[in-house]
Amino acid sequence: MAVIHRTSLQPTKLELLTSWLPSRPWYRGGAAEPQPAKAGGFRLDDPQGEVGIEFIIVTDSSGPHPITYLVPLTYRGAPLDGAEHALVGTMEHGVLGRRWAYDGCHDPVLLAQLVALIEGRVQAQNQNTSDVPDREVIASHTGEGSIPTDFITTDDQDGTRLTTPHGTTLSLHRVLQPAPDGPFPPSHGVTGHVTGSWQLPDGTRARGVFAVLHTGGGAA
């Protein structure tokens, strides 16, 4: 179980994202500096208790229209070998000391736990309170057998695609859009998904798709 510490971070997560977001191909902002504000998110537990796993949702209001992003992050007490390209930045944690923050789509611990979430083996946890499930996050898996985790990560203007040699694709929706009310609509090749909620700038709640799993080489 992840323990949520009430302490200081220097720089803050939002400050790290302000400088990192414009470097992403899926970032939709303009020339102005991003103005990310927390809009929601959830956590997953690392079974080994070593890596912090957080899916942060932020809304950038720097442009003419607010844009909401899904940013999976991992927090480590030492650098992750071979992941220099995925480093978002370092922070000084008031309790844990120096923490290395990574784009979680390149961190095998986050990917393994995201697959476990889709398969129903773990439950999403509240972003701000220890040992409290986040029941707004709903995952489903209709495929047979275990989901492979030997992903190759690719970022483009449409989001992040995690592909395996077996023809499985896990697509993360980096730019979030409110979805119509009702169950997740069936689609050819879709065998799993993750949906959840976040807060809009006007204070209301929106719900949408975070991730979609395809088999047979499909993509979202």
- Contact at 8 Å (CB) between 55 and 41? yes
- 220 found inside a domain: no
Predicted confidence at residue 204, as pLDDT, reads: 95
Output the six-digit token pair for 143.
């495929």
Residue 3 lies in a domain: no
184 vs 102, residue with greater confidence: 102
> What value does the mean pLDDT take over residues 66-83?
96
How confident is the prediction for the chain on average, in pLDDT? Answer: 90
The stretch 65-84 carries a mean pLDDT of 96
What is the distance between the alpha carbons of residues 65 and 67, in angstroms, rounded to a whole number? 6
Could you tell me the pTM of the whole model? 0.91
Residue with tokens 């773990």: 122
Nearest to 211 by CA among 140, 154, 112, 152: 140
Least confident of 3-7, 176-180, 185-189, 198-202: 3-7
Evaluate whether residue 219 is within a structural domain: no
Q: What pLDDT shows up at residue 126? A: 95
Paired residues of 69 in beta bridges: 58, 175
Indicate whether 186 pLDDT > 70.
Answer: no
Distance CA 98, CA 52 (A): 13
Q: Give the number of other Cβ atoms within 10 Å of residue 59's Cβ.
A: 19
Count structural domains, the chain: 1
Q: What is the DSSP string of 182-220?
A: SSPPP-TTEEEEEEEEEE-TTS-EEEEEEEEEESTT---
Is 85 contained in some domain? Answer: yes
Inform me whether the pLDDT recorded for 128 exceeds 90.
no
Please indicate, yes or no, if residue 2 is contained in any of the structural domains. Answer: no
pLDDT for res 118: 97
Specify if 95 maps to a domain. yes
Which of 95, 105, 71 minimizes the C-alpha distance to 8?
A: 95
Residue 103, domain member (yes or no): yes
Predicted confidence (pLDDT) at residue 181 exceeds the cutoff of 80: no
Enclosing domain of residue 83: 9-214
Higher-confidence position of 96 and 204: 204
For 196-215, write each residue's pLDDT tens digit.
Answer: 999 999 999 999 999 999 98
Q: Does any domain span residue 27?
A: yes
